[in-house]
Structure 1
Amino acid sequence: MTDLQSARGLNRRDFLRYSGLLGAAATITASVAACGGPSSTGAGAGGDKNTIQAALSYALSGGFDPMTASSAVAVAANLHVLEPLVDLDPVSRAPYNALAKESPSKVDDTTYRVTLRDGATFHDGSPVTADDVVFSFERVLEEKNASLFAQFLPFLKEVKKVDGRTVEFTLKYAFALFGERLSVVRIVPKKLVQADQKKFDSLPVGSGPYRLTAANAGDGLSFAKFDAYNGPRPAKVAKMTWLLLTDPNARVTALQSDRVQAIEAVPYLNAGALAKKSDVRSVQSFGLLFLMFNCKVEPFDDVRVRQALHYAMDTENLIKTALLGNATAATSFLQAEHPDYVKASTVYGYDPAKAKKLLADAGVSNLKVELLTTDTDFVKDCAPLIKQSWDAIGVSTTLNVGQSGGQYANRVDTGKYQVMAAPGDPSVFGNDVDLLMRWFYVGTWPETRSYNSGTAEAKKVVSLLDEAARETDAAARKKLWGQAIDIVAEQAALYPIFHRKLVTAWDGKALAGFQPVATTGLSFLNVGRA
């Protein structure tokens, strides 16, 4: 728990002191020790030329079964280990045929058929069959399994086997995004999962270019090339090892010492120094810092209060000071680079006078707010500046900074909070507007987190998304999405403050074909050693 006093006049040095960045130098020695993962063989620039080593920024949390796995580590690993029928390129986000031999064949508006790639096999040598595909989809759709991916398949009525290598999908209604949405279900071997689901969850067997050979919190993840893989993204090295280094200084040191060839989540303050030796790139992402209100608690049930706290934030200063420019202030639910971006009718520019007036119009004075945040590095850095902005308009603000899982389990999901600032990025699951908006505005979030699902506006958003899902004309669909975006922007029950830029660093002299991605994690599909 962190409770900072009034931060009026918080300058750059005060900010660094509050966020702990001035102490970074003192942690370097410990960070070097923290790099002692499973890499005794070494795979730096002068090491094993048939091995890739990398460092991810998240700890191992939960298992890998793609029916339920949503942790950053599991999603990144499964990208290399398991295949869907159609996948999304991790860099361009364009769909491509993975286990599917060719693009889904449209029988009619609500019927599609998909044939499996010739000779596709799982890592245990067994062939990938239509039975495995049907099983993989049915277990996601089965309500008792509580798969979070079911929410992305509201259009799907039935999946059935046509023959040993062909599957037919029956839709409830025409859905223009059917092909790319197949990417949310990764195909698993029915026989192995049914035999021992817990074993599969801890070390999954897929059909992807790499086999996951070991995974634990201390040593990280180890992969080996799957020699029998015959798909479009073959492994180009024999082995991979991923260190799981939550300490940002440890990741930086690992790259600087040639311990690894790539790291994600480069600390913004270290990007310049790393660029002197390594390739460093900042990529605009959908990933956002959002502000979420408990709409069942006064006065946050009043839209004017929610809007006031948005207008009170000096977001440009927040981005400049806490993220060193590595974000873009939200002008929509979507980042401006998204192919379906539309500017929202409500854009929260910095306007403290308007914020004060909105509070006055709502009859609110002497407001005291506890701002709940996660302990993610960049969020911790933003928190004191949000407090500074709110204190400046007379809103007495205290900060409660804690581990993400605990904050949600103990405060958010129990309704015992007022306002939360936290990161989010469902774009790891897909990049279309329907998927991104359903994540935040249908089901779990409005029902048990922002607690506004019963409002007319929230119901209208769901209705617009449902209507857009049935719309076959792209322009008409985008218009409906735009109307939904206008509502969530105006209501501000849960809405982005900014969209982050993700900084990745890698050794371009050691890796061939590597490109940073606009989502959490790293991709080594089609990447080899130089």
Structure 2
Amino acid sequence: MSMQIRRWCLTTAVICMSGLLVACSPQQLPSGLVYCSEGNPESFNPQLVTSGTTIDATSHQIYSRLIDYDTQSGKLVPALATSWAMSDDGLSYRFTLRENVQFQHSSRFIPSRYFNADDVLFSFNRIIDAQHPYHFVSRTGYPFFQSIGFSEQVKKIEKINEHEVVFYLNRKDASFLSNLATDFAIILSDEYAQQQLALGQPENVDHFAIGTGPFTLVQYAKNEYIRYRRNPDYWGEPANVEMLVFDITLKSTTRLAKLITGDCSVSALPKAGELAVIKQHEELNIESQPGLNVAFWAFNTQKPPLNDVRVRRALAYAVDKQDILRAVYQNTAIEATGVLPPASWAYENNKRIDDYNPQKARDLLKEAGVANLSIDIWAMPVARAYNPNTMKTAELIQSDLANIGVKVNIISYDWSVFTQRLSRDEYDSVLIGWNADNSDPDNFFTPILSCSAMQSNNNRSRWCNPEFDALLDSAREIADQAERKVIYQQAEAFLADQVPLLSFAHAKRVILTRHDISNMQVTPFGGISFARTSQVHSEAN
């Protein structure tokens, strides 16, 4: 890129980034790849949320991590850290940092130095240190890190020099490196943070994102779009498209219509029933891959009578999973027999012959002394890879439970209201799920079912069992996969007995593209990246 063009790009980005409030008309910006996304991000810092919509809009577009997962092999690979080594006792990890990595520019911030150890310390000390000036800037906390007990896991982080840091752990943890490769473990700029703190505006760090990723954030208009520009200073291979636009389109049918007309080149989360329509259009492609995810119905175990395991078992026996798979997923998912999907190395098929047994459900309710039960099911208002249509799922469960004399009220809100009220624990039960962003089995247990996950409001079943937590702790202390698998299967049996949730599906990850799109990487993990995606003549359209 010539100096003149680069200066024009930086100038345009500065104008558009001035508070992300000054609109830049489409005519002022080069055309590029348009992705029809399903909703608004809750933040532009993925440390602060676990929402898939936010992760898609931020983690792999704007930021980088110390280490990444190779999308093909699932192995850990260098990113902002070029190498790492574990101590003999397994209690410390030394990282060598990549040199000459440039943070992005904006109207608020022009970096004066390259990425270094101070940025790593800021990014993680903010999370683990309650005395850190940025710790409480986040009103939502750090749900993923709190759910895995990261602050109890990490004893301290030490800067050895500008390009070396050491993480000291309180206990051995086989999942530690995997957690540093998650979509949440992004690296922020300490220099930007200190500048905004001095200005009395520390929250800007989370709203007006600065990272080291392949795209820079240009403009965000709620319910309309997010615009990004290729980062000319990206440390890796430059993105293949100059501009990236997230066209925020809440309705699946509208996303499909925009894809057909060419208003979008890539589209998210189609409903299963729409795939037949896609196949009628030669210019459209369906990209899919088995996902590391699970859809489940979580019971609020703190609320009577759902605090009685017999009632939870009864509700689980009443649900016909095969009916849900036929009506909601239409051959784009397989039945879940636990929380681990078949793509996990710790998976075993734990299906019981009598999983669906309405008579056993009635008997258990009678044994528990529960009659005329009425419960609420909260259904997400947005589609997710693990559940493309939660309202339909809720209606099917409503019908199944009516067969055993249980009345179901289906409740839904706008997504922002839904997440806020969900954090207040007002619900009886909720249809939700989990996308893993690494291949370690612990990612399916600790973040959504541990006692620490309950404290961070990421455990939607509100179920805390010290014996279960002890199982997970023991698995993380062992390096051998075969030994760990035995323990994770014990954890699955524990969940099958206690039923804090009913898992029902592992869905394929499905992305729709137009014929001129290539290198669209669909991975089994959560998050989406457009860094390698190409579009024929995208710069001229």
TM-score normalised to structure 1 length? 0.83
* Cα distance change of structure 1 residues 469 and 520 upon mapping to structure 2, 3 Å threshold: closer
Partner residue, 1:493: 500
1:123 aligns with 2:131: no
Equivalent of 1:468, from 472, 475, 498? 475
CA–CA separation in structure 2 for the residues paired with 1:193 and 1:122: 12
Q: How does 1:439-518 map to 2 (within 5 A)?
A: 439-443=447-451, 446=454, 449-453=460-464, 458-507=465-514, 509-518=515-524
2:226 match: secondary structure: strand
1:497 match: secondary structure: strand
1:425 aligns with 2:431: no
Name the aligned partner's letter for residue 236 of structure 1. Answer: N
Partner residue, 2:108: none
Partner residue, 2:195: 195
Q: How does 1:377-388 map to 2 (within 5 A)?
A: 378-388=389-399
Q: How does 1:281-296 map to 2 (within 5 A)?
A: 281-296=287-302
CA–CA separation in structure 1 for the residues paired with 2:100 and 2:275: 44
* Cα distance change of structure 1 residues 477 and 319 upon mapping to structure 2, 3 Å threshold: same
Identical amino acids, percent of aligned pairs? 24
Equivalent of 2:329, from 317, 323, 341? 323
CA–CA separation in structure 2 for the residues paired with 1:435 and 1:288: 11
1:119 match: secondary structure: coil
Could you give the per-residue CA deviations for residues 398-445 of structure 1, whole angstroms, max 9, x where no partner exists?
Answer: 3233345534544x5445443x232222414x3422232111112465
Partner residue, 1:138: 125
Partner residue, 1:28: none
Partner residue, 1:230: 235
Could you give the per-residue CA deviations for residues 65-117 of structure 1, whole angstroms, max 9, x where no partner exists?
Answer: 24314333331222121111002245664322111112445465212211111
Partner residue, 2:65: 84
Could you give the per-residue CA deviations for residues 5-30 of structure 1, whole angstroms, max 9, x where no partner exists?
Answer: xxxxxxxxxxxxxxxxxxxxxxxxxx
Deviation at 1:306, TM superposition (A): 0.6
Equivalent of 1:341, from 323, 339, 347? 347
Partner residue, 2:262: 258
Name the aligned partner's letter for residue 73 of structure 1. Answer: T
CA–CA separation in structure 2 for the residues paired with 1:254 and 1:525: 22
Equivalent of 2:273, from 269, 273, 279? 269
CA–CA separation in structure 2 for the residues paired with 1:333 and 1:173: 26
Name the aligned partner's letter for residue 169 of structure 1. Answer: F
CA–CA separation in structure 2 for the residues paired with 1:267 and 1:163: 51
CA–CA separation in structure 2 for the residues paired with 1:198 and 1:348: 52
The answer to whether the 8 A contact 2:299-2:430 is kept is no
Which stretch of the first structure deviates more once superposed, 190-199 or 309-318? 190-199
Which runs of no fewer than 5 residues in structure 2 stay unpaired? 1-22, 106-110, 197-201, 384-388, 537-541
Partner residue, 1:25: none
CA–CA separation in structure 2 for the residues paired with 1:486 and 1:427: 20
Deviation at 1:272, TM superposition (A): 1.6
Could you give the per-residue CA deviations for residues 107-161 of structure 1, whole angstroms, max 9, x where no partner exists?
Answer: 6521221111132121135300111111111112123543224333343211111
The answer to whether the 8 A contact 2:239-2:532 is kept is yes
2:206 match: secondary structure: helix
CA–CA separation in structure 2 for the residues paired with 1:322 and 1:39: 39
* Cα distance change of structure 1 residues 39 and 303 upon mapping to structure 2, 3 Å threshold: farther
Partner residue, 1:247: 251
Could you give the per-residue CA deviations for residues 239-285 of structure 1, whole angstroms, max 9, x where no partner exists?
Answer: 11111111112211111111121111012221121133311134332
Partner residue, 1:374: 380
CA–CA separation in structure 1 for the residues paired with 2:533 and 2:390: 32
1:173 match: secondary structure: coil
Could you give the per-residue CA deviations for residues 280-322 of structure 1, whole angstroms, max 9, x where no partner exists?
Answer: 1343324333222232333222212111111111110111112
CA–CA separation in structure 1 for the residues paired with 2:268 and 2:450: 30
The answer to whether the 8 A contact 2:302-2:462 is kept is yes
2:60 match: secondary structure: helix
Equivalent of 1:392, from 403, 408, 411? 403
Name the aligned partner's letter for residue 462 of structure 1. Answer: D
1:402 match: secondary structure: coil
2:270 match: secondary structure: coil
1:101 match: secondary structure: strand
Could you give the per-residue CA deviations for residues 16-52 of structure 1, whole angstroms, max 9, x where no partner exists?
Answer: xxxxxxxxxxxxxxxxxxxxx9994699xxx95xx22
Could you give the per-residue CA deviations for residues 472-503 of structure 1, whole angstroms, max 9, x where no partner exists?
Answer: 22221221122112111221112312223332
Equivalent of 2:356, from 350, 353, 375? 350
CA–CA separation in structure 2 for the residues paired with 1:464 and 1:53: 45
The answer to whether the 8 A contact 1:344-1:489 is kept is no
* Cα distance change of structure 1 residues 205 and 138 upon mapping to structure 2, 3 Å threshold: same
The answer to whether the 8 A contact 1:84-1:183 is kept is yes
Partner residue, 1:60: 41
The answer to whether the 8 A contact 1:81-1:206 is kept is yes
Partner residue, 1:210: 215
TM-score normalised to structure 2 length? 0.81
Partner residue, 1:298: 304
The answer to whether the 8 A contact 1:131-1:161 is kept is yes
Deviation at 1:230, TM superposition (A): 2.5
The answer to whether the 8 A contact 1:346-1:489 is kept is no
Q: May I ask how many residue pairs the two structures share in their alignment? A: 479
Partner residue, 1:4: none
The answer to whether the 8 A contact 2:298-2:430 is kept is yes
The answer to whether the 8 A contact 1:174-1:472 is kept is no
Could you give the per-residue CA deviations for residues 185-223 of structure 1, whole angstroms, max 9, x where no partner exists?
Answer: 211110101222322222211111211122221441111
The answer to whether the 8 A contact 1:347-1:489 is kept is no
CA–CA separation in structure 2 for the residues paired with 1:107 and 1:227: 40
Name the aligned partner's letter for residue 229 of structure 1. Answer: Y
CA–CA separation in structure 2 for the residues paired with 1:142 and 1:66: 18
* Cα distance change of structure 1 residues 445 and 138 upon mapping to structure 2, 3 Å threshold: closer
Name the aligned partner's letter for residue 98 of structure 1. Answer: A
Partner residue, 1:280: 286
* Cα distance change of structure 1 residues 137 and 486 upon mapping to structure 2, 3 Å threshold: same
Equivalent of 2:51, from 71, 80, 84? 71
CA–CA separation in structure 2 for the residues paired with 1:519 and 1:254: 26
The answer to whether the 8 A contact 1:331-1:348 is kept is no
* Cα distance change of structure 1 residues 42 and 359 upon mapping to structure 2, 3 Å threshold: farther
Deviation at 1:178, TM superposition (A): 2.9
Q: How does 1:175-186 map to 2 (within 5 A)?
A: 175-184=173-182, 185-186=185-186
* Cα distance change of structure 1 residues 244 and 520 upon mapping to structure 2, 3 Å threshold: farther
Which runs of no fewer than 5 residues in structure 1 stay unpaired? 1-36
1:67 match: secondary structure: helix
C-alpha RMSD of the superposition? 2.7
Name the aligned partner's letter for residue 266 of structure 2. Answer: A
Which stretch of the first structure deviates more once superposed, 516-525 or 109-118? 516-525
2:345 match: secondary structure: coil
